[in-house]
């Protein structure tokens, strides 16, 4: 397990829960707007798993859960055992994923190792490769979308509104694709100074509201985040 970061307290990453966030290195996407470029490239710090679990033991009764993010956590070969240990300690688990590993996602959910899933929808199906910065197995992403739409676990879909990569027309496509989703968030783009690409900027608050209104006929539970 390559743990590359730990946020010891978050009130935002796990909706409705007090949690910590653990970051894993490595990702199979190269989204130009990604704000964790060092993690994607595997250049983050390293935290020993023993140190992480020692920290978690000290937070029993204080934290509700653990948000597991990256990079792409499902690339980690020992993730099942890692999550099992967290669950055995009595914590809830939120998983962030890009949806490119539907079988792994299904296994974790059906093993009751995940309580909440946040899946990124990078763009419309037509614009996916552009937003992901690489060739994407779109069939696998669609499989993950379909699985979560069947509501096997609490979930949300989310899209980073990266101007220059994801267009208003793409949001029409996204709305049609995830029609009827439990929750969908359009996130404001933030330039962290550690991006994978360039030529990307944020939509204004007013423009974000227009994007929300584009999706609203398809997904009534659409909200803006980070604006």
pLDDT tens digits, one per residue of 104-158: 999 999 999 999 999 999 999 999 999 999 999 999 999 999 999 998 999 999 9
Residue 42, strand partner residues: none
Mean pLDDT, to the nearest integer, of 94-108? 98
**Beta carbons of 76 and 107 less than 8 angstroms apart:** no
pLDDT score of 44: 67
Mean pLDDT of 89-116: 98
User: Is the model's pTM score more than 0.85?
Assistant: yes
For 166-218, the pLDDT digits (tens) are 999 999 999 999 999 999 999 999 887 777 777 789 999 999 999 999 999 99
- Is the pLDDT score of 89 beyond 70? yes
What residues contact residue 147 under an 8 Å CB cut-off, 6+ apart? Answer: 102, 105, 106, 109
Fold adopted by 3-225:
TIM Barrel (3.20.20)
pLDDT in tens, 19-78: 999 999 999 999 988 877 777 777 767 899 999 999 999 999 999 999 999 889 999 999
SS3 7: strand
Domain boundaries, the chain: 3-225
Judging by beta carbons within 10 Å of its beta carbon (0-12, 13-18, 19+), is residue 35 exposed, middle or buried?
middle
| Residue 205: strand, helix, or coil | helix
pLDDT at residue 227 tops 90: no
What six digits make up the tokens of 154? Answer: 């609490």
């Amino acid at each position: 397990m390559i743990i590359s970061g730990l946020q010891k307290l978050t009130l935002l990453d796990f909706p409705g829960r007090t949690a910590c966030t653990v970051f894993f290195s490595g990702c199979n996407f190269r989204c130009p707007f990604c704000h964790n470029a060092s993690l994607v490239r595997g250049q983050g710090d390293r935290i020993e798993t023993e140190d992480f679990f020692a920290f978690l033991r000290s937070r029993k009764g204080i934290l509700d859960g653990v948000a597991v993010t990256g990079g792409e956590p499902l690339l980690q070969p020992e993730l099942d055992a890692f999550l099992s240990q967290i669950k055995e300690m009595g914590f809830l688990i939120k998983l962030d994923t890009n949806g490119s590993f539907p079988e792994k996602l299904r296994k974790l959910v059906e093993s009751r190792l995940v309580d909440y899933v946040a899946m990124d929808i990078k763009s419309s199906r037509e614009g996916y490769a552009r937003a992901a910065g690489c060739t994407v197995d779109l069939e696998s992403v669609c499989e993950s979308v379909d699985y979560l739409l069947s509501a096997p676990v609490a979930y949300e879909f989310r899209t980073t509104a990266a101007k220059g990569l994801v267009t208003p027309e793409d949001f029409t496509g996204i709305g049609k694709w995830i029609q009827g989703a439990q929750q969908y968030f359009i996130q404001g783009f933030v330039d962290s100074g550690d991006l994978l690409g360039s030529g990307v900027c944020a939509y204004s608050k007013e423009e974000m509201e227009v994007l929300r209104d584009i999706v609203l006929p398809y997904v009534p539970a659409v909200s803006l985040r980070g604006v």
